[in-house]
């Protein structure tokens, strides 16, 4: 597994002023957005050093989102695997059902501070859209969410949730009518309305300062884990595992541990139906360096640079690019990457539900699959923590369909 790093990692100086994590990241946007990104970077830089901003954010994370979340000992799963002690970080207990609210709250407060009263966002499965709609309702901000037409149909319930909370959901009919097209449309809106509008991007992706800023808003996950595991076990864990779509829950979970070289960190991508072109979304299995939607990173693309089709049973991991910071730490051999396939995910989804009384999000279940494999290989005096990034309520219709169960 992970080799310890050769040189100390300067995690607090990353990214550089241009938003680069080594050769990854950066800013690749139309001219009209350069000023907006520059202003956003400046505003965020001031906010992150302002105790009043941090205090207010902490307050809302507690009262609105429900932090801190529990670090839960999964006793029956541990016994079933027969190896390392398995803990679950319960981000599934947060308001709106996943870690995404951490970032949505942070960015909404930042938008308010910048005097922007209109919020736009993209969403795939709808989780980020729901989190954004919730914080906009709370702070009285206008909210427009772009969503691919295909995703709107698949996730009709989340569309209704967003609308209940006062958001306008705009369907996108271009291309594959999914997440990538929704991001394009959100960018187009931002270019046109940049003056009074803030774009709440939903993962550790896109142009600087987004990957850094989104990471920072999720760092609270790892900070809590560190305190909680020290209180529970009197020591740090041996291994930590999280699923990686764009990479926000994983980087927030890992960040506090990057310099703890004895703690192995593993990100799990979507292996879909298997690692064949068009059947998966594991960017580190067959992806190449390229630029997509504002950022240089690993991307699933063909030899002409055309973005390949991706597939995963979980919509939240189904994206052709991975956050640039992950590519950087992979090169440095500080974070390892694995993948889990749809059929293993379906099995673990049911197992966790039955054994722990916790229905995990299909995204998070990718981390569970790999975590259970690892636990079996580890000793019973070792400790493994899996980030349960979200709850599976949103997935039950889809799972029922796959299992051939007719509801209602
Ligand atoms: C959106 C989502 C993900 C994937 O996004 P990351 O930015 O990689 O964290 C993972 N889990 C859940 C529950 C999600 O909603």
136-177 pLDDT, tens digit per residue, is 999 999 999 999 999 998 889 999 999 999 999 999 999 989
353 alpha carbon to ligand 1 midpoint, in Å? Answer: 19
Where is pLDDT greater, at 7 or 53? 53
Region of residue 170 (left: phi > 0; alpha: psi -120 to 50; beta: else): beta
Among protein residues, the one whose CA lies closest to atom 13 of ligand 1? 390
* Fold of domain 30-62+100-210: Rossmann fold (3.40.50)
CA of 306 to the centre of ligand 1 (A): 25
Token readout for 98 is 């996943």
Coil vs helix vs strand at 27: coil
Report pTM: 0.96
Residue indicated by tokens 């009709």: 156
CA of 6 to the centre of ligand 1 (A): 30
Q: Where in the chain is the domain with CATH 3.40.50.1100?
A: 30-62+100-210, 67-97+218-403
Pocket test of ligand 1: the residue of 95, 202, 203 to mutate, having most ligand atoms within 8 Å of its CB, is: 203
Q: Which of 294, 32, 272, 25 is nearest to 283 (CA)?
A: 272
pLDDT tops 50 at residue 4? no
Strand segments, DSSP code E, in 280-376 are 288-292, 295-299, 335-341
CATH topology for 67-97+218-403 is: Rossmann fold (3.40.50)
- Closest residue by Cα to residue 186 from 146, 215, 227: 146
Token output for 310: 């991706």
Say if CB 217 and CB 60 are below 8 A apart: no
* Per-residue confidence (pLDDT) for residue 13, from 0 to 100: 65
Whether 300 shows a pLDDT value over 60: the answer reads yes
Q: In degrees, to the nearest 5, what angle opens at C-alpha 213 toward C-alphas 90 and 52? A: 85
Predicted confidence band of residue 9 (pLDDT cuts 50, 70, 90): low
Burial-class residue 302 by CB neighbours within 10 Å (0-12, 13-18, 19+): exposed
Cα–Cα dist 185/123, whole Å: 11
For ligand 1, residues with CB inside 6 Å are 98, 100, 127, 203-204, 243-250, 316-317, 361, 363-364, 389-390
3-class secondary-structure state, position 87: strand
Which residue has the CA at smallest separation from atom 1 of ligand 1? 316
């Amino acid at each position: 597994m992970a080799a310890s790093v050769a040189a100390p990692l300067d995690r607090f100086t990353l990214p550089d002023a241009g938003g680069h994590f080594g050769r990854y990241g950066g800013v690749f946007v139309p001219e009209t957005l350069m000023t907006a990104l520059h202003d956003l970077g400046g505003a965020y830089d001031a906010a992150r050093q302002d105790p009043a901003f941090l205090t207010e954010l902490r307050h809302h994370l507690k009262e609105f989102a429900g932090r801190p979340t529990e670090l839960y000992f999964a006793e029956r799963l541990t016994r079933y695997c027969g190896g390392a002690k398995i803990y679950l970080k319960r981000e599934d207990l947060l308001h709106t059902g996943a870690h995404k609210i951490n970032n949505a709250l942070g960015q909404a407060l930042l938008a308010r501070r910048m005097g922007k009263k209109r919020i736009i966002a993209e969403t795939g499965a709808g989780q980020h859209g729901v989190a954004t709609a919730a914080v906009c309702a709370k702070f009285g901000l206008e909210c427009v969410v772009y969503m691919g037409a295909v995703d709107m149909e698949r996730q009709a319930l989340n569309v209704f949730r967003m609308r209940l909370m006062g958001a306008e959901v705009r369907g996108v009919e271009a291309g594959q009518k999914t997440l990538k097209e929704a991001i394009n449309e959100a960018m187009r809106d931002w270019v046109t309305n940049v003056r009074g509008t803030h774009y709440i991007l939903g993962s550790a992706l896109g142009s600087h300062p987004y990957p850094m800023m989104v990471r920072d808003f999720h760092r609270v996950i790892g900070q809590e884990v560190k305190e909680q595991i020290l209180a529970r076990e009197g020591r740090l864990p041996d291994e930590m595992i999280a699923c990686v779509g764009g990479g926000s829950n994983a980087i927030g979970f890992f960040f506090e541990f990057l310099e703890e070289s004895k703690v192995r960190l593993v990100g799990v991508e979507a292996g879909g139906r298997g690692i064949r072109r068009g059947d998966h979304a594991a960017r580190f299995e067959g992806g190449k360096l390229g630029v997509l939607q504002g950022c240089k990173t690993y991307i699933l693309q063909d030899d002409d640079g055309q973005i390949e089709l991706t597939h995963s049973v979980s919509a939240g991991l189904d994206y052709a690019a991975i956050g640039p910071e992950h590519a950087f730490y992979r090169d440095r051999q500080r974070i390892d990457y694995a993948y889990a396939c749809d059929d293993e995910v379906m099995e673990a989804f049911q197992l966790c539900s039955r054994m722990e009384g916790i229905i995990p999000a299909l995204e998070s279940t990718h981390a569970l699959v790999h975590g259970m494999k690892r636990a079996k290989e580890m000793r019973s005096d070792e400790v493994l923590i899996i980030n349960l990034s979200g709850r599976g309520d949103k997935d039950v219709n889809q799972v029922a369909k796959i299992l051939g169960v007719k509801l209602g």
